[in-house]
Amino acid sequence: MSANDDSKFGVIGGSCPGGMARQFRVQMTTGEVPVRWNLAGSFRDRHEAGKCAARLMIAGYQTRIVDCRALPTAA
């Protein structure tokens, strides 16, 4: 991100050896059965992810933050 970039959106770190850069994914659901988690956003900073999750909780959604440290692969 450049010094004069006034974008309010953060930048996800680039890929690194052995997988991907660490990121925090905020997921949300309405609480319906069966539970379906939907991606609300990905953040490189846990604090920013927490603020996003808090806003969604105030709006009535169930939320969770998933700490992603490795690229998911099929078993």
pLDDT in tens, 47-59: 999 999 999 999 9
Of all residues in the chain, what percent carry a pLDDT higher than 70? 65
Q: Is the pTM of this model over 0.75?
A: no
DSSP output for 17-72: TTB---EEEEEEE---SS---EEEEEESSHHHHHHHHHHHHHTT-EEEEEEE-S--
pLDDT in tens, 13-32: 555 555 567 889 999 998 88
Domain boundaries of the chain, sorted by first residue: 23-68
Of all residues in the chain, what percent carry a pLDDT higher than 90? 49
How would residue 69 be classed by pLDDT, with cut points 50, 70 and 90? confident
